[in-house]
Chain A
Amino acid sequence: EAGVTQSPTHLIKTRGQQATLRCSPISGHTSVYWYQQALGLGLQFLLWYDEGEERNRGNFPPRFSGRQFPNYSSELNVNALELEDSALYLCASSLDSGGHEDTQYFGPGTRLTVL
């Protein structure tokens, strides 16, 4: 069974540009989560999508946004990039949103570098 996949693996942008990161969940999983892993800051929760809707977002500015498509894949968009947006962005999926015990399975991440 294929795991969570993310693309691209690496992304280099300059300040002010926009970045688009993509995630495909495990087949059958309807929930997708995005996390930012910046150096020295651990994992910070960004967004949670389920059944095409945004269910929750972390403490990030509105220039971080995303969407979930009918096939449950997801995009994370970061507008007006700033240097401090440089980080590893991790996507995770889980079976459903019905219970808090649902394990999240992570992809390998997209390394975003803002110059």
Chain B
Amino acid sequence: GNSVTQMEGPVTLSEEAFLTINCTYTATGYPSLFWYVQYPGEGLQLLLKATKADDKGSNKGFEATYRKETTSFHLEKGSVQVSDSAVYFCALSDVNTGNQFYFGTGTSLTVIP
């Protein structure tokens, strides 16, 4: 079946530190991969996505590369800001299961000045 596993948090970093949030997946077909972000008190917002192997999604300084060989989609940012404090969710959608999204459990990030 389909599933997403992401690193457990919470993660606390100092401003300007390098961020990596690991995400691996299991899928029966050829999934599309997504990172969503949830700021405090808000709904989920799409951060970036990649639809095929070796694609790199990027937005707001965040990047993630679709690695089929390692079934991974790790999120990275070179220099985090206090405003990046949020919960980050990795997700996949698989054509074999229609439009159902599978989400990881979320990783809480706190960036301190």
Where the two chains meet, the residues of A that have a C-beta atom closer than 8 Å to any C-beta of B are 4, 31, 33, 35, 41-43, 45, 48, 50, 55-56, 58, 90, 92, 94, 97, 99-109
Interface residues on B, range: 20 to 34
Contacts known (A90-B44, A97-B99); A42 close to B105, Cβ less than 8 A: yes
Give chain B nearest CB distance to A105 CB in angstroms: 7
Instruction: Count A-B contacts at CB 8 Å.
Output: 67
> For residue B94, which residues in chain A have a CB less than 8 angstroms away from its CB?
100
Where the two chains meet, the residues of B that have a C-beta atom closer than 8 Å to any C-beta of A are 31-32, 34, 36, 42-46, 49, 51, 89, 93-95, 97-106
Q: Which single member of B32, B100, B106 contacts A42 (CB below 8 Å)? A: B106
Contacts known (A42-B89, A100-B31, A101-B51); A90 close to B99, Cβ less than 8 A: no
Instruction: Report the bound CA distance from A33 to B93 in whole Å.
Output: 13
Structural contact, A42 and B99, CB atoms closer than 8 A: no
Structural contact, A90 and B43, CB atoms closer than 8 A: yes
Give chain B nearest CB distance to A64 CB in angstroms: 15
Structural contact, A100 and B32, CB atoms closer than 8 A: yes
Give chain A nearest CB distance to B49 CB in angstroms: 6
> For residue A31, which residues in chain B have a CB less than 8 angstroms away from its CB?
99
Instruction: Report the bound CA distance from A103 to B44 in whole Å.
Output: 12
